[in-house]
Structure 1
Amino acid sequence: MSRKLILDVDTGTDDAVAIMLAALHPELDLIGVTTVNGNVEVRYCTDNSLRTLDFIGRSDIPVFEGIARPLVRPDFPIPRASKKSTGVHGQTLDIPAATSTRQHQRAVDFLIETYRAATEAITLVPTGPLTNIAAAIALDPKFVERVPEIVIMGGAHHHGNVTPAAEFNIWADADAAASVLAAGFRKLVMVPLDATHQALVSMQACDDMAALGTPAGIAAARFIGRRIRAYDSNQPMAERNAAPVHDALCVAYLVDPTVITTTHLHVAVETQGALTVGRTVVDTNARGEQAPNCHFAFHADRRKFVAILRETFARVAA
C-alpha cells in the first residue's frame, strides 16, 4: 500500500524536485499540494507548483493556495525581499506555463477538512514557512492529534543560511514555527541544513538525470543545475559543482527512512532575540527540562538520496 502525504510548499526549485519525487514514486500517494509565501510570493508558489505537476503529467493532483504573510507579524519583511539575491529560485520556474488551475478552497481549510475526514494515515510534509500549519492548529484544536507524522524541512543547529543563526523557513515565520514545534505532534521529524548539506547533488548527477529523457529527469536537471550554479557563485558548499536540494530530502525519507539519521531531542524556536530570531534551539546536551519533541536529523546519506532521485525520475506518469 502506498503512503499518503500532503506537501506544503513555497515552490522554488527544491520544492519542485520534492513535488516530482512525491508525485512519481510508486510507494507514495501525493493527495494534495498546499502553498505558502516564502521563496517567492504565494501566487508564484502556486503557479510553480501547477507548472511542475503539469510538466510531469500529474495535473490530477490538486493545488491549494495558502497564506500570503506571516501570522503574528504581518509587517515583518516579506521573506524573499530579505534574502540575498542568489539566483537559486527566481520568480517563475523555467518550464512551460501551467494549463491547470488551483482549487478554490483555501489551503488551511483543505488541511483541516482532509485530516478531519481521514480514515487512514496521511503524512504532512511542510517544506516552506510553517504559516499554514500553525493556522490549522489554531483553528482546529484536534488537528495535531489527527496528523500521524509531520516531516519538516527547516532549522539548523550548526549554521544558518538567511542569518548567522537561522534557517530561512523557520526565520520567515518564527512565531508559526514555534507554535508547530510546541504543539505536541505524535511524531515530528525535522530535516535541517545540518542534514541537507550532507546530501549534495552534483552536476554529474544532474547530467545523469537529464540523460533519462523523462520530463522529471529533464526538469530536475534544470532546477538542480540552477541551484548548483547559484551556490557555487554565492554560497559555495564543501564540494564545488554540487548543491543541496533541501526539500526533496524530506520526501526521500518517506521512501527510505535510513536516508537520514535522527536524534530524539527537544527543539524550540527563538522568537525574541534581536540577533537570533528564527533559530532552532536544539538541546543536544539535555540542559533544559523539556522532554524530547523532535527527531532532528544531523546526518544524511548522499548516495541513497541521489539514487532515489535518479530511480524515481526515470519514471513517467501512468
Structure 2
Amino acid sequence: MGTRLIIDTDPGVDDAFAIALAALSEDVDLLGVTTVFGNVPLAATTRNAQRVLALCGRSDVPVAAGAERPLVHPHPHRAHYAHGVDGLSGRSQVLPEPERELERADAVELLVSLLNAADEPVTIAPIGPLTNIAALLAAHPGVREKIDRVVIMGGALGHGNTTAAAEFNIWSDPEAARRVLTGGEVSCVLVPMDLTYRCAVDAEWLAKLNGSGPIGTALYALTPDYREHYNRALGWDGIVMHDAVAVAEAIKPGILRTERFPIDVDCTHGPSRGATLVDRRRAELRDDTEATDEVADVRVGTDTDLDGLRGFVLDRLATVTGR
C-alpha cells in the first residue's frame, strides 16, 4: 500500500472531488476522514463526506465530526455563494445514503487513534479550516512523530477570494491556521489558491468526467452552482478544484513544485485578517531586515505540470465502480 492518508474536510464540491480522488486511488490507504465547519455547517459537511465515501464504495473508512466553530471568534459566514445551500450545489441527494455510521469519537479522538495505531508515518490533508488540526497539535504533542506531512489547501500569495487579502479556509479560522503553520511542529506543505486557480478545469474536462461512468457522472452532477460561481470568477466556463490539487500532492509527493518560505497569518481584525504573509524575499535580505520573531518555514506549492495534474485527477476519478 502507498500513502497512508487522513483527510480533514468541509465538503464542499471541491472537497467531494478530493475525497473521491483519495478513495478511488489504489495507491492510497485512506485511514479516515474527519470533518469541520466551513463551506456549510458541520452537520452538512459530515453528511456530505459520508455520502461521497458511499458513492466510492468505501464503507471501510471511518468518519468523525470535529469542530463546529473556530477556535476563538465566530465564523462570519458560510460559502453558500459558491457551494449551494447544502455544500453540493443543492444536489447532495444524487449521492447514496451513508453506508457506515458516524464514529462516536470526535475528530481529534479519531485522529489520535489512527495515528497511534499507524506503523508508519501518516500524511494528513486538511482541506478546510484548520481548527481540528490546531486542536490535535496543541492537545496531543505525542502524535507529532507519527505525522509525515500536513498538506494544506489554503492561503494565497497574492489576493484572496473571500476578502481582498484572504483565502476562505485560512480566513475561516486564522488563529488555528497560525497555530499549525507557524508552530514548526510538523512538516507542512501549503497549496495556495494562486496555484489551484491555475489548475482550473474547463467544460471539456468536465464532460469527460461526466461520461466516465457512474461515479464521474455523480460528481459532475454536484457542480452546477459551483460552476456558475466560477464562471464569474474565472471569466470562462470551468471550475477550480482547489482541494483535489492538495490531495493530489498528498498522494503523489512532488506532483507540485514547492519552495520553502517563512509564513505568518494575520490574526488582527482589520481588512487583512486571514491573509497568509509569505516572505518571498531573498534569505540574505530577510536576515538583514527581520525585526519580528522567527516563524517557521513552510513548503509552498508554486507550480506544476498543469495538464499532467489535470490528467492525474481525471484518470483517478474516471473509475467505473468504487473499490
Query: One fold, TM greater than 0.5?
Result: yes
Do the aligned partners of 1:265 and 1:291 also contact (CA within 8 Å) in 2?
no
1:317 partner letter: G
Are the structure 2 counterparts of residues 312 and 292 from structure 1 closer, same or farther at C-alpha, using a change threshold of 3 Å? same
Cα distance in structure 2, aligned partners of 1:163 and 1:92: 20
**How far off is 1:184 after superposition?**
1.5
2:273 corresponds to which residue? 277
2:85 corresponds to which residue? 90
Superposed CA offset, 1:102-122 (max 9, x none)? 111110111122222321121
Q: Which moved more, 1:254-263 or 1:294-303?
A: 254-263
2:75 corresponds to which residue? 77
Cα distance in structure 2, aligned partners of 1:8 and 1:63: 10
1:317 aligns with 2:322: yes
Cα distance in structure 2, aligned partners of 1:143 and 1:306: 34
Do the aligned partners of 2:124 and 2:149 also contact (CA within 8 Å) in 1?
yes
Q: Which moved more, 1:259-268 or 1:287-296?
A: 287-296
Cα distance in structure 1, aligned partners of 2:274 and 2:219: 30
Cα distance in structure 2, aligned partners of 1:89 and 1:196: 21
Cα distance in structure 1, aligned partners of 2:181 and 2:117: 24
Cα distance in structure 1, aligned partners of 2:300 and 2:82: 29
1:170 corresponds to which residue? 170
1:50 corresponds to which residue? 50
Are the structure 2 counterparts of residues 302 and 88 from structure 1 closer, same or farther at C-alpha, using a change threshold of 3 Å? farther
1:194 corresponds to which residue? 194
**How far off is 1:143 after superposition?**
3.1
1:90 partner letter: V
Do the aligned partners of 1:14 and 1:223 also contact (CA within 8 Å) in 2?
no
Do the aligned partners of 2:55 and 2:322 also contact (CA within 8 Å) in 1?
no
Are the structure 2 counterparts of residues 181 and 87 from structure 1 closer, same or farther at C-alpha, using a change threshold of 3 Å? closer
**SS of structure 2 residue aligned to 1:155:** coil
1:305 corresponds to which residue? 309
Cα distance in structure 1, aligned partners of 2:148 and 2:252: 17
2:231 partner letter: D
1:213 corresponds to which residue? 213
1:162 partner letter: T
Q: Which moved more, 1:269-278 or 1:124-133?
A: 269-278
Number of paired residues?
309
1:262 partner letter: T
CA RMSD of aligned residues (A): 1.8
Do the aligned partners of 1:34 and 1:63 also contact (CA within 8 Å) in 2?
yes
* 1:289-304 correspondence to structure 2 within 5 Å: 290=294, 293-304=297-308
Do the aligned partners of 2:39 and 2:83 also contact (CA within 8 Å) in 1?
no
**How far off is 1:147 after superposition?**
1.1
Cα distance in structure 2, aligned partners of 1:189 and 1:8: 15
**How far off is 1:175 after superposition?**
0.4
1:39 corresponds to which residue? 39
**How far off is 1:99 after superposition?**
3.3
Unaligned runs of at least 5 residues, structure 2 = none
1:263 aligns with 2:259: yes
TM-score by length of 2: 0.90
1:8 corresponds to which residue? 8
1:143 aligns with 2:143: yes
1:252 aligns with 2:254: no
Any runs of at least 4 consecutive aligned residues in structure 1 with deviations exceeding 6 A, and if so which?
none
Identity level (%): 36
